[in-house]
Structure 1
Amino acid sequence: MRYFVYDVFTDTPFGGNQLAIIPDAGDLTDAQMQTIAREFNFSETSFVLPPKDPGHTARVRYFTPARELPFAGHPTIGTAVMMADENGIEDMVLELGVGPLSCRAAEGCASFFTEHPLEVKGHPAAELVAHAMGCEIGNLRSVPVLASLGGDFVYAQLDNRETLSKLCPDIEAMREGAALYPGNHDFAVYPYVLEGNTVHARMFAPLDGIPEDPATGSAAAPLAALLCKTLGRRVEITVHQGDDMGRPSRIALTADQDRVTVTGKAVKVMEGTLFL
């Protein structure tokens, strides 16, 4: 069985977020998909299957090393670029766990937009969130928010880039947060620093098998929607993520009242054969 590895949200090999893609996964069982995702041990592995609706391009399933996700950003960008690279498809509709998603890809760059309404699901205690991230409560610049556009993330604005770079998550506090705020991610935390139209961010989801993620489109999109709601205007931002991991990633986002558009590049760095 063929596989590809793409680095996503970068145009430079060995940067961005790694993504394994199985382009012909129609014969795999759920258990096999989960086992393959554990074998690659990337934050996500993408499995491409025939669509249920003949008018759509493909059905795609995303697995972390620990579980299946209904939606994820960097696998969507990477899978769309792969399909453009391999099949010459530029405009496509992918069937995901959150429903059909329209994408466009060409020349190593892809975009998708979501009109899923922003859900604010709670406000975890600032002390708990600070403890989970490994900083002081005084480093927070806003009330933490649990929000979602399909994937649940805890957002915490920090005081400066130095604080962000020094974060060291506490797994027990993460477990406490997951018990208090159950969701489709286990208390995945997205701390960020806002500097004009630039956002510096990190993402920690150790309970989902992702100690730190170098690029998280499914977390960046709700942040753009939150900023749009808070500021009361259209927002155009670029998220810098992965810098503290040595895998710089760039995610371009535009958010208005009705939709969020996510854009990024991806580059193929590996391909081969998987033996089952």
Structure 2
Amino acid sequence: MSTLAYEIVDVFTDRPFAGNPLAVVFGAEKLATEQMQALALEFNLSETVFVLSPTQVGATYRARIFTPAEELPFAGHPSVGAAVTASRRGMFGVGRVTQECGAGVLPIEVTETGAVLTGGTPTLGPELDPEPLLEMAGLTAADHAGPAPRVAGCGLEFPYLPVRPDAVARARVNAAAAEQYGVEHVSVFSWDAATQTAHARVFVPGLGVPEDPATGSAALGLGVWLVASGLLPGEGRSEYAVRQGVEIKRPSSLACTVTAAGGVAVGATVAGHVMPVARGEIAVPPFVG
């Protein structure tokens, strides 16, 4: 029976059994997409990443990222976890590397304990009616706080719904509302201006992930939203933090920056630690394509 090496790591935490668990699989160059998807479903984590040889000039490696339901062009915690785990396995050293993925070739600064990921080109949508997002999150109009929701991202877009601090813990996915409005995911958060910290929860029912413990891509896009909403400066580089996963007993900490010019975000980074938890081998699923 053919097998592949894998590691399980916890991302965006400085201790094991917290943060966002991730399966990192090596040596899968010959697998078809259907086989990778089958492995992601077998691990049944929010994401599984396959570290492959690059196909683009200038890339250190290629990452293919899967939820249990489908492949993603980009995601934050798989990118951070893949880079650090591959470095620890001796594929490359610490320092600057470049990851090829569906969002392009992205720079990552790898350290001994974690990594800093630079997101893709920032995107920002128009203001949204908060009612569908509130209904999807099991909240009411009284829970909405601050500027209007908008879709934003740095490689993977999310709708951002700002709410009162007490509403974050009360949020619950309303799957029927999500299906009715065609909303696959949402970031529900409160903002503490004094500490420049967001307390966030990210629900992704459309991709088979009821709630994500730590979402690097959503943390990146939040910076775009914060600048557009006037909650972070429209010029220069600002730091902010995201706390996530507390409600599902996977506390996570994401350290972020956003750079703005002319009132518009032009770049963002997210950083965090990576803790090894397990390693082993998994059977290669039969090709059924």
For 1:167, the equivalent position in structure 2 comes to: 171
Equivalent residue letter for 2:214: A
1:55 to 2:54 alignment: no
Match of 1:116 among 105, 113, 121: 121
For 2:129, the equivalent position in structure 1 comes to: 125
Equivalent residue letter for 1:95: E
1:248 to 2:247 alignment: no
For 1:95, the equivalent position in structure 2 comes to: 100
For 1:107, the equivalent position in structure 2 comes to: 112
Contact between 2:122 and 2:155, CA under 8 Å: does it hold in 1?
no
Residue-pair matches, total:
267
Matched ranges for 1:18-37 at <5 A:
18-37=21-40
For 2:201, the equivalent position in structure 1 comes to: 202
Give the whole-Å Cα distance in 1 for the aligned partners of 2:132 and 2:56: 44
Equivalent residue letter for 2:217: S
Shift of 1:115: 4.8
Give the whole-Å Cα distance in 1 for the aligned partners of 2:229 and 2:144: 17
Per-residue Cα deviation, 1:205-257 (whole angstroms, up to 9, x for no partner):
11210000000010110111221233324421110000011000000001012
Match of 1:155 among 148, 156, 160: 160
Give the whole-Å Cα distance in 2 for the aligned partners of 1:229 and 1:119: 8
Aligned-partner SS, 1:259: strand
For 1:183, the equivalent position in structure 2 comes to: none
Aligned-partner SS, 2:283: coil
Aligned-partner SS, 1:247: coil
Shift of 1:117: 2.7
For 1:273, the equivalent position in structure 2 comes to: 281
Give the whole-Å Cα distance in 1 for the aligned partners of 2:149 and 2:220: 16
Contact between 1:152 and 1:188, CA under 8 Å: does it hold in 2?
no
Aligned-partner SS, 2:229: helix
Equivalent residue letter for 2:216: G
Give the whole-Å Cα distance in 2 for the aligned partners of 1:218 and 1:224: 10
TM-score w.r.t. length of structure 2: 0.89
Contact between 1:193 and 1:201, CA under 8 Å: does it hold in 2?
yes
Contact between 2:26 and 2:50, CA under 8 Å: does it hold in 1?
yes
Q: Which runs of 5+ in 1 are unaligned?
A: 179-185
For 2:228, the equivalent position in structure 1 comes to: 229
Shift of 1:148: 2.4
Q: Which runs of 5+ in 2 are unaligned?
A: 261-265, 285-289
Cα 1:151–1:115, aligned 2, differ >3 Å: closer, same or farther? closer
1:262 to 2:262 alignment: no
For 1:143, the equivalent position in structure 2 comes to: 148
Shift of 1:56: 1.8
Equivalent residue letter for 1:208: L
Computed over aligned residues only, the root mean square deviation of the Cα atoms, in angstroms, reads 1.3
Shift of 1:89: 2.0
